[in-house]
């Protein structure tokens, strides 16, 4: 059984954002506890977990840690981690893992640039607004295949669910132009994140009781641009 790597935190009276090898994993605004599975962000040797603190109050407390778990195992997020509050506003923790999902992706991705990724995001928008399911299936092939492996289900069954999600965002959830978007290099010019300039994901729809969203992290693979996360 494959190992699952998770990061947990406990926090009081402090705020921070955290990344694993450049990928966002936490955005804590008011303390509490949390957990994130890290496998898809791992490179094997020399993984870097980075916390950037934006607030430390007089009663600030913090702990975190990376743990191994088995599939289906319950992880106690209330258990104190073995890494405490840094003296400054940045905490960097390096660690090795057997999992290297991100390295496998990086080894197959081609170097790209912000202009190409912005153009892809706009093609993605047009496919959603036009209901072009064939294009959306092509653009999400990598993500669908990886998710099918993770959940142990046929790709076709998962594709049906994902393509239905795009129908939901078609009206009111993808009304963006190039000027509304910000492109960020996450990994070595190979993996890119495209968000709205207000910080919301590319697909974002307000509802009466909140909002729904779906991110856009993309790379150029052998058969063209793909959404990979």
Beta carbons of 28 and 10 less than 8 angstroms apart: no
Average pLDDT, rounded, for the chain:
92
pLDDT of residue 72: 61
* pLDDT exceeds 90 at position 218: yes
For 9-23, write each residue's pLDDT tens digit. 999 999 999 999 999
> Among 27-31, 35-39, 73-77, where is mean pLDDT lowest?
73-77
* pLDDT exceeds 70 at position 1: no
Which residues neighbour 191 within 8 Å (Cβ) at sequence distance 6 or greater?
A: 22, 105, 106, 109, 185, 217, 218, 219, 228, 229
pLDDT of residue 77: 67
pTM, full prediction: 0.80
For 78-135, write each residue's pLDDT tens digit. 678 899 999 999 999 999 999 999 999 999 999 999 999 999 999 999 999 999 999 9
Beta carbons of 17 and 52 less than 8 angstroms apart: yes
Q: Mean pLDDT, to the nearest integer, of 40-58?
A: 96
Distance CA 69, CA 56 (A): 30
Comparing C-alpha atoms, which of 227, 214, 229 is closest to residue 135?
227
pLDDT of residue 207: 83
And the tokens for 203?
Answer: 């697909």
Selected residue with higher pLDDT from 68 and 157: 68
């Amino acid at each position: 059984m494959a190992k699952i790597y998770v990061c947990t935190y406990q926090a009081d009276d402090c705020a921070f954002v955290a990344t694993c090898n450049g990928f966002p994993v936490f955005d804590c605004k008011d303390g509490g506890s949390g957990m994130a599975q890290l496998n898809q962000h791992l490179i094997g040797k020399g993984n870097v977990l980075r916390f950037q603190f934006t607030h430390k109050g007089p009663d600030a407390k913090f702990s975190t840690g990376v743990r191994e778990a088995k599939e289906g195992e319950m992880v106690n997020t209330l258990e104190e981690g073995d890494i405490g509050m840094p003296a400054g506003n940045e905490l960097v923790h390096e660690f090795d893992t057997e999992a290297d999902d991100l390295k496998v992706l990086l080894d197959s991705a081609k170097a790209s640039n912000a202009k190409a990724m912005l153009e892809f995001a706009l093609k993605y928008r047009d496919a959603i607004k036009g209901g072009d399911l064939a294009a959306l299936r092509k653009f999400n092939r990598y993500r669908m295949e990886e998710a099918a492996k993770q959940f142990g289900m046929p790709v076709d069954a998962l594709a049906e669910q994902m393509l239905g999600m795009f129908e939901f965002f078609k009206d009111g959830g993808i009304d963006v132009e190039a000027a509304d978007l910000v492109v960020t290099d996450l990994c070595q010019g190979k993996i890119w994140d495209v968000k709205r300039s207000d910080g919301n994901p590319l697909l974002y729809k307000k509802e009466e009781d909140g909002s729904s969203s779906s991110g856009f992290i993309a790379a150029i693979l052998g058969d063209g641009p793909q959404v990979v996360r």
